Structure 1
Amino acid sequence: MKAIALDMDGTILDDDHVISKELITCIDDLQKKGYYIFVATGRTIADVEGVLATELEPDGIAAANGMTAIAKGEVLADEVVDEEILNDLIEENRKHRLYYEIHTKDGERFGFKEDEVFLMEELEGPMPETVKEHEWNSRQKVWESELTVTEDIDLSQVLKVYYFTKDQEKLENWKAALGSKKAPFATSSSSEHNVEVMKEGISKASALELLLDHYDLQPEDLMAIGDGGNDIPMLELAGRPVVMQNAPEELKDQFPEVTDYPNSENGVYMFLKDFTQED
């Protein structure tokens, strides 16, 4: 292996969205040994920079599920979702009433004022057992301090739209509605309670391919570690795919190399510590 791609939520971050000092040191040591470290996440670049520790300096970032790719400050991909598609999906979701966040290039998150009631409804009450703690914590934090609910939103610079619901059946109905659309867009889910919409043909793998090409590397040189459905493309791309212990069972069945510990117990650090001993 010459490069390692790391998912963030549910992988290098614990359930409070913190990366451990041990893992930061381990990643730094790997980079000093010549390994390239890529962060591959559903978060936007602005969100990544707000969460990652300042001591961590990845060689590349695949953000917004592949909509953005950056290698040491050099922009390799910078995509947006078509406005016509966005307007159609916003109207369609008013029939389904899922919580949503419209993510823009400048790192802002928006929702329309007329949708405020059903946005709130999805986040009220106790956390359902099937919802991952880190995802629930994120939604509460975003609603309290990061989501701007407004009458008018500029849809020309949208990276993705994130949809969430406590009701798994409701999500499946929404996915079916998305699947019936003929418009060119891609969808991705990191859990059984969310789905995201991006530009057609985009995934973490498409952004990682740009990063690999930038550094003159091949997919077989890449190790990838993730925990959710939106990690499947990059795991399929990688020469050595690794799944977190806290990942769904179907993901573990598809990719049999699994970390011994979950994200809440510093699982990536423990795995990479053993990996460095193999090296």
Structure 2
Amino acid sequence: MDSQAIILDLDGTTLTSKKTVNPLLVEYLQTLRKRGLLVLIATGRTIFEIRKILPKEFKVDGIVASNGMNIFDATKQIIKKDIPSNTVQQLINQSIEFGIHHEIYHQDGTVTAMKTPFQSETTKLKLHNFRKYIKWTSSIYTNNVEKIVFFDDHTDLVANWFENLKEMQRDLEFSAALSSSHLIDVNGAGASKATGTTLLLSKLNIAFENVMAFGDGGNDIPLFKKVGKSIAMRNARKEVQLHADEISKYTNDENGLYHHLHQLFH
């Protein structure tokens, strides 16, 4: 295929499990950009998280943030969406009743959470690094919300809550994706990496058939179904690997993305 762009997931793909980027990968991506290949990011993370976690040398040509709620080209924001306030209110109320942890991400970069009877348990979580800068509130802050995450170390609890969310989608406007076995991303109705990337590629005048996508999570599957070639990371869940055209030889902690790109574009 004649690749014009690559789309990279962050967590579990571009980032190591320690949330760092291998310098070799950063350097090689910039080499590919100089050759004319566009480097795009599609992630569940907000733009504020992306800017904090990626080194300044990591230049890209477009970003699909919060699973398509906010979209940026190389110079400016081109799409901005919110989750309806009533939806946020009902989701948080029912999640607290269910007994699962949550974080609410707002468009200005703040992260809030409603105080819960099980709030103290957040300090013991191992699989999700609960935000130290979170603002605990006595009422639910529902305005200007781009993302909600639900999470717990007990993956069966997460899976059961995900099934509940599917039922709730009959009455409420939102999308939900099992980002990992312990974390669920919730965004606005119809939002996904695939829909967000569709808008970005249209702006860039690039067809999906000329694009490769790399990822490891459930929120990558809709994108895998649209691109010319999809590559799942070695560390991805089996379900994700089954939807990919190829699987990387190495994991994200073994610089798997760099090695696979080097194999494809050397």
TM-score, normalised on structure 2? Answer: 0.94
Query: For 2:159, which of 156, 172, 194 is the aligned residue?
Result: 172
- Residues 227-255 of structure 1, C-alpha deviations (whole Å, 9 max, x = no match): 01011111112111000000011221221
The one-character-per-residue Cα deviations of 1:76-135 (angstroms, maximum 9, x if unpaired) are 21010000011111111121111111011122211112x1x424325526x4xxxxxxxx
Superposed CA RMSD: 1.4
Counterpart CA distance in 1 for 2:141 and 2:92 is 13
Structure 1: give runs of 5+ residues left out of the alignment: 128-135
The answer to whether 1:239 aligns with 2:228 is yes
Distance (whole Å) between structure 2 residues aligned to residue 158 and residue 255 of structure 1: 32
State the alpha-carbon separation in 2 of the partners of residues 225 and 123 from structure 1. 32
- SS of the aligned residue for 2:86 comes to helix
Aligned mates of 2:192, 2:77 — CA distance in 1: 16
Deviations 1:19-59, CA, capped at 9 Å, x for gaps: 11101111001100001110111100011001011001110
Q: Larger helix proportion, structure 1 or 2?
A: 1
Which residue does the alignment assign to 1:118?
118
* 8 Å CA contact retained: 1:6, 1:12: yes
1:3 match: 5
Q: Which amino acid aligns with 1:118?
A: F
How many Å separate the matches in 2 of 1:256 and 1:272?
15
* Structure 2: segments with no counterpart, 5+ residues: none
4+ long deviations beyond 4 Å: none
Q: Distance in 1 between matches of 2:250 and 2:163?
A: 34
Specify the alignment match of 1:22 in structure 2: 24
1:66 paired residue number = 68
Q: TM-score, normalised by structure 1?
A: 0.90
In structure 2, the partner of 1:195 is: 184
Q: Map of 1:1-279 to 2, 5 A cutoff?
A: 1-113=3-115, 115=116, 117-121=117-121, 124=124, 127=126, 136=127, 139-140=128-129, 142-143=130-131, 145-181=132-168, 182-277=171-266
Three-state SS of the structure 2 residue aligned to 1:237 is coil
1:9, CA displacement in angstroms?
0.4
C-alpha contact 1:11 1:226 (8 A) present in aligned 2: yes
Q: Could you tell me how far apart the structure 1 residues matched to 2:82 and 2:56 are?
A: 27
How many pairs are equivalent?
262
CA distance in 1, matches of 2:151, 2:228: 32
Q: Take 2:120 and 2:75, find their aligned partners in 1: how far apart are those partners?
A: 37
